[in-house]
Amino acid sequence: MSISNPTQDQKVAAVTGSSTGTGFETSLILARNGFHTYATMRKLEGEKTKPPTEVVKNEILLLQVTGLEVDNDKSVADAINTIVDERKRIDVLVNNAGYALGGALDDSSMDEIKAQFETNFFGAVRAIKAVLPVMRRQGAGRIVNITSMGGRISIPLSSSYHGSKFALEGLSESIQYELEPFGIKVILIEPGAVGSNFWRNIKIVRSSSDSNSPYSPLLQRKQRRNK
């Protein structure tokens, strides 16, 4: 969905996880401030793509909805290559895609834990590695990693989520020194509780939903507080 054909020196931004919530709003803010913005999301079909389409048409924004699945090497590479082919640059990458896995570590399967890290941590790593050659060639760029207050403090029954966010914090603090000589800045944003659908979309560890789990009473109390 291309709305206009600005000059090739137009600043370009890419935002992961833009179907709803923080990613959606971030894409709109960037587009409204003159960035040619690629709002990327895992699924393009269905109602989730309808709101951005309507807003873009009404406001005539420089915003394109593009498929990008952060868990998939090829999907990330294809999306970034497409952006570079079309715009010849990427000035801002916002790593927003992620979700929360709720449940005790004891109940969590290795597959569930790996899936949490695959999206929240390795998904960001894939996107960063894909844009770095472009930003180094430009001699400038901004990488914005959306972590969480959960990347600084932890609460029970979210150990995998906290682990993934702490990991992204550590990675971000390290690569800022590696990338500074190339004119690339790394920015961490650690949101607290925000009015979005993030916690409504939390994934619960399968075993924790079992009433026989020793952690079931603690999980039920936490769920009641989050409502």
How do the domains of the chain map onto residue ranges? 12-226
Closest alpha carbon to 194 in 23, 54, 14, 15:
23
The pLDDT confidence band at residue 4, using thresholds 50, 70 and 90, is: very low
Which of 102-111, 113-122, 174-183, 213-222 is predicted least confidently?
213-222
- Return the half-sphere exposure (C-beta side, CA atoms, 13 A cut-off) of residue 88: 5
Rounded percentage of the chain residues whose pLDDT exceeds 90:
66
Tokens matching residue 43: 């699924």
pLDDT of residue 93: 98
Active-site pick, 38, 161, 177, 215: 161
pLDDT of residue 177: 98
φ, ψ of residue 59 in degrees (nearest 5): -100, -5
pLDDT at 192 over 90: no
Tens digit of each residue's pLDDT (9 = 90 or more) over 14-26: 999 998 889 999 9
Distances (CA, A) of 133 to 44, 86, 110, 161: 27, 16, 33, 29
Active site residue 161: yes
pLDDT of residue 194: 65
pLDDT of residue 169: 97
- CATH number 3.20.20.140 given to 12-226: no
Q: Considering all CA atoms of the chain, what is the largest pairwise distance in Å, rounded to the nearest integer? A: 61
Tokens matching residue 213: 């789990």
pLDDT at 188 over 80: yes
Tens digit of each residue's pLDDT (9 = 90 or more) over 79-126: 999 999 999 999 999 999 999 999 999 999 999 999 999 999 999 999
Sign for the pseudo-dihedral over CA of 115, 116, 120, 125: negative
Tokens matching residue 112: 């569930």
**What does the radius of gyration of the chain's CA atoms come to, in whole angstroms?**
18
The three-state secondary structure class of 30 is helix
pLDDT of residue 217: 78
